[in-house]
C-alpha cells in the first residue's frame, strides 16, 4: 500500500459531493460514512504521513502536532499495563493549523460497509486554487467485496497456508537455524549482485 497522507474533510463538502453525484445508492453512502468530519487517505501530496484538513470555510490546512518526551514513572507503568516498555513516552502537547498555498487536484479515498457487511470504496476529488477549494466531487463508488466473497477468500488462503506448512519448506521454516541461514543467503546474494552490477558498469565505461 505504501505511504500516504491523511485528509480530514469537513462534512459539508462530503455531503455536497454526494448529493451532486450520479450514483443511485446515495442514502447508503451518506448513512455509512461517519456523522462528523471524515478521515481519508491520499497519495496526491507528499506521502509522508502528514495530516491535512479541508475546513468548512474551504481552506486547505496542514495540521502540525507537537509532542514531547515524557518519562514514564514506575507507578504509572504498574497502573497501566498498556504503556510501552522503556523510559520515555511521546506525549501530545499542542496542535496548530498552517494554511497551504496549494493549487491543483487532490484525490482522497476511503471505504465503508453496509448492513450486509458489503465493502465499498469511495474516491473524492478536490480542486484547489491558492489553497482555496473550488470543487469537491465524488467520482467513484465501487463495490469491493461481500461478506461471502471475503469468507471464501479466507478459506482458500487458509488451505494454501495449511498446504505450505505441511511442505518441506514449511516444516524447515519452523526452525530458527534454517531461517537465519536463509536470510544470510539472501543478504549475501543481494550484495553479490550489487558488486557484479558495479563491475559491469566499470567494464562498460572502459570499453
Q: What are the φ/ψ torsions at residue 24 (nearest 5 degrees)?
A: -80, -20
Task: Give pLDDT, residue 35.
Answer: 60
- In angstroms, the CA 195 to CA 200 distance is 9
Q: For residue 161, what are the contacts with CB-CB under 8 A and spacing of at least 6?
A: none
What tens digit of pLDDT does each residue of 50-105 get?
999 999 999 999 999 888 887 766 555 555 555 555 556 777 888 899 999 999 99
pTM of the predicted structure, to 2 decimals: 0.65
| Residue 74 near residue 68, CB atoms below 8 Å | no
DSSP 3-state of 152: helix
Residue with the three cell numbers 537455524: 177
Confidence at residue 24, expressed as pLDDT on a 0 to 100 scale: 59
Exposed/middle/buried for residue 24 (C-beta within 10 Å: 0-12, 13-18, 19+): exposed
pLDDT of residue 32: 64
Cβ neighbours around 170 below 10 Å, total: 13
* 18 three-state secondary structure: helix
Identify the pLDDT of residue 129: 95
Domain ranges, ordered by start, for the chain:
5-146, 148-206
Which residues in the chain show pLDDT less than 70? 1, 23-37, 72-88
Place of cell 511521546: 90
Return the closest-CA partner of residue 24 out of 143, 144, 127.
Answer: 143
* Alpha-helix runs per DSSP H in the chain: 11-19, 26-32, 74-79, 147-166, 168-172, 176-206
Nearest to 141 by CA among 4, 6, 18: 18
* Contact between 145 and 119 (Cβ < 8 Å): yes
Amino acid at each position: 500500500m505504501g505511504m500516504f497522507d491523511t485528509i480530514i474533510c469537513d462534512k459539508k463538502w462530503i455531503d455536497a459531493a454526494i448529493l451532486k453525484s450520479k450514483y443511485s445508492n446515495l442514502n447508503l453512502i451518506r448513512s455509512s460514512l461517519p456523522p462528523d468530519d471524515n478521515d481519508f487517505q491520499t497519495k496526491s501530496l507528499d506521502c509522508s504521513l502528514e495530516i491535512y484538513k479541508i475546513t468548512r470555510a474551504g481552506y486547505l490546512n496542514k495540521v502540525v502536532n507537537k509532542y514531547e518526551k515524557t518519562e514514564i514513572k514506575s507507578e504509572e507503568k504498574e497502573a497501566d499495563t498498556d504503556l510501552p516498555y522503556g523510559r520515555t513516552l511521546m506525549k501530545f502537547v499542542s496542535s496548530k493549523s498552517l494554511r497551504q498555498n496549494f493549487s491543483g487536484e487532490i484525490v482522497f479515498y476511503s471505504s465503508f460497509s453496509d448492513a450486509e457487511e458489503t465493502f465499498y470504496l469511495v474516491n473524492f476529488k478536490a480542486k484547489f486554487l491558492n489553497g482555496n477549494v473550488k470543487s469537491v466531487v465524488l467520482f467513484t463508488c465501487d463495490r469491493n467485496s461481500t461478506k461471502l466473497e471475503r469468507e471464501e477468500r479466507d478459506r482458500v488462503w487458509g488451505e494454501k497456508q495449511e498446504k505450505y506448512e505441511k511442505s518441506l519448506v514449511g516444516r524447515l521454516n519452523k526452525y530458527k537455524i534454517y531461517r537465519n541461514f536463509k536470510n544470510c543467503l539472501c543478504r549475501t546474494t543481494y550484495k553479490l549482485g550489487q558488486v557484479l552490477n558495479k563491475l559491469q558498469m566499470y567494464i562498460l565505461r572502459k570499453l
